[in-house]
Amino acid sequence: MTEQQKTRLIGFGLVLVASIFNGLIPSSTQYAMKSGLSIETILVVRYFIGTGLLWLYIFLGKKSWQVSGELRFFMILLGVLLFGATTVINESYKYLPGAVAQILVFLYVVIVVIIEIFTGNQKIVPKRILCLIAAFLGLLFVVWPWGAFSDTRLLGSLLALGGAFFYALQTLGLGSNRLRNVDAVVITGYMNLFIFMATLLRCLLAGEPLLPQEATPWWPLLTLGVGAAFVAPVAFCLAVKKIGASDTSLTNTSEPVFAYIAGILIMSDRISWNATFGGIMVLSSVVLLNMPGKRRRSEPPR
């Protein structure tokens, strides 16, 4: 095996690690909720652990974290968008199976393409139009149940789609030239620092405890804090360096698959055939839109 092949193998391994931990977010959050924890408490613990580990990694790795006030303000704005995405996505877990919510969130790629077409940053070509149509049809299959359409399912779907919209705006922000020379882990550190402070304030205003008050299983919180908020973004950033943004984002579309499996194993989810078929359509569209041949944007770590 050549050195290049080893590098690519390591890169794909890193992005799979990131995909697995991100795929565990819905079921781990839902399991913690089932154990009696509020969303506010879960998010505070998740970002307290993840943000602390990220900044420890930044300092120990001697990464250049001191930036201009303008860049710091811009990264905080991205943190605001990610806080909005995280908040509404986690609220959607109250009403939808985790895999369904994850598929809807992955429509952020489609939203990015639509925005870039309208702003003139991308050309209208048949492949993109077909992908957008397929993604929209897949969305209908995912959202529309085989039977009565409940208000809770509608609310959960709207929340997940709202998260996808915030996520798309943040992705566009991450593609800004002003961040070209800033380490991706440092960007994530600043964004997560804002999210932690915002979730802490939200938790205090809601009157929820900052830490679990009873004998609550800690494995879902550690999965979210250590795995999803620290290991996943670091692994994703390292993968981009080894195999490039295009291959990393393309491989990262396996994330909803892991969410699907985790939902079945951890939460005993039952995903309808139409949601499964719609998810395949959505992910196929995302894969095609991620294929090389157009300007790529890295997915922001969650």
pLDDT digits (tens, 9 = 90+) for 276-300: 888 888 888 877 876 665 444 445 5
Q: Find where tokens 């001191």 sit.
A: 66
* pLDDT computed for residue 246 by the predictor: 61
CA-to-CA separations, 263 to 156, 204, 254, in angstroms, rounded? 16, 30, 14
Report yes or no: 46 and 229 within 8 Å, Cβ to Cβ. yes
The whole-angstrom separation of Cα 55 and Cα 73 is: 18
> What integer is the mean pLDDT of 35-49?
95
pLDDT digits (tens, 9 = 90+) for 103-115: 889 888 888 888 8
Q: What is the pTM of this model?
A: 0.85
Per-domain residue ranges for the chain?
10-290
Provide CB contacts within 8 A for 110, sequence distance 6+. 131, 132, 135, 136, 285, 286, 289
Q: Is the pLDDT of residue 232 over 70?
A: yes
